């Protein structure tokens, strides 16, 4: 196994995708935010209105913006013309707020980093909007759930935080 972002001399580099063929690629990432019981109790359905607005809607917008700007944040990511970004937020009975981010593109490289960035920033936005209620909010897990396209597909075999797939 070798690292793709290191050249033969050990220097960091961006992967050359010049000769790769564009194909349909998709990635699904998830972030889990554990809310204290008193904060989770404030939710109606899968959302909470604050003085800053809807927590879920704001997190979806922030996550979507982050997906589109991943190449500006992660040094060796290629800028990608995102075809699809779908962020869903659901409050589980156990107080975990599950944030799923699915990103798709027709391109020469995958969108795992975009999906992970979108889920992460959505989770950070939830924290920012709810910290006035409690600082005892835990972003407990950000992970890749699956990817399709490219050299190989991937499906996580690890159980998710929060107990639900």
pLDDT digits 0-9 by tens, 16-53: 888 899 999 999 999 999 999 999 999 988 899 988 89
* 71 closest CA partner among 8, 113, 130: 113
Answer yes or no: is 11 within a domain.
no
86, 100, 128, 153: the catalytic one is 128
Q: What is the CATH number of the domain that holds 67?
A: 3.30.70.640
**Angstrom distance (rounded) from CA 42 to CA 86:** 25
Q: Which domain holds residue 70?
A: 23-148
pLDDT confidence of residue 164:
53
The mean predicted confidence, pLDDT, of the chain is 92
CA distance 156 to 113: 15
CB 119, CB 109: distance < 8 Å: no
69 in a domain, yes or no?
A: yes
Determine, yes or no, domain membership for 165: no
Q: What is the percent of the chain where pLDDT is above 90?
A: 76
Asked whether residue 18 is assigned to any structural domain, the reply reads no
What pLDDT digit, counting tens, does each position of 3-26 carry? 787 887 878 888 888 889 999 999
The answer as to whether 132 is a domain residue is: yes
- For residue 128, indicate whether it is catalytic: yes
The total number of structural domains that make up the chain: 1
Q: Measured at the alpha carbon of residue 93, what is the angle toward residues 161 and 154, in degrees to the nearest 5?
A: 30
């Amino acid at each position: 196994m070798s690292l793709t972002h290191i050249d033969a001399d050990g220097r960091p580099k961006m992967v050359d995708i010049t000769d790769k063929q564009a194909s349909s690629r998709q990635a699904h990432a998830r972030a889990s935010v554990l809310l204290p019981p008193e904060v989770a109790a404030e939710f109606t359905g899968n959302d909470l209105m604050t003085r800053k607005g809807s927590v879920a809607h704001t997190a979806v917008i922030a996550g979507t913006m982050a997906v589109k700007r991943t190449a500006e944040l992660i040094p060796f990511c290629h800028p990608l013309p995102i075809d699809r970004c779908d962020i869903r937020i659901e409050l589980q009975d156990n107080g975990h707020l599950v944030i799923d981010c699915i990103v798709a593109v027709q391109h020469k490289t995958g969108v795992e980093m975009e999906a992970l960035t979108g889920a992460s920033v959505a989770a950070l936005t939830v924290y920012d909007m709810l910290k006035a209620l409690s600082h005892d909010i835990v972003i407990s897990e950000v992970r890749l759930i699956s990817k399709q396209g490219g050299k190989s597909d991937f499906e996580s075999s690890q159980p998710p935080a929060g107990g639900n797939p």
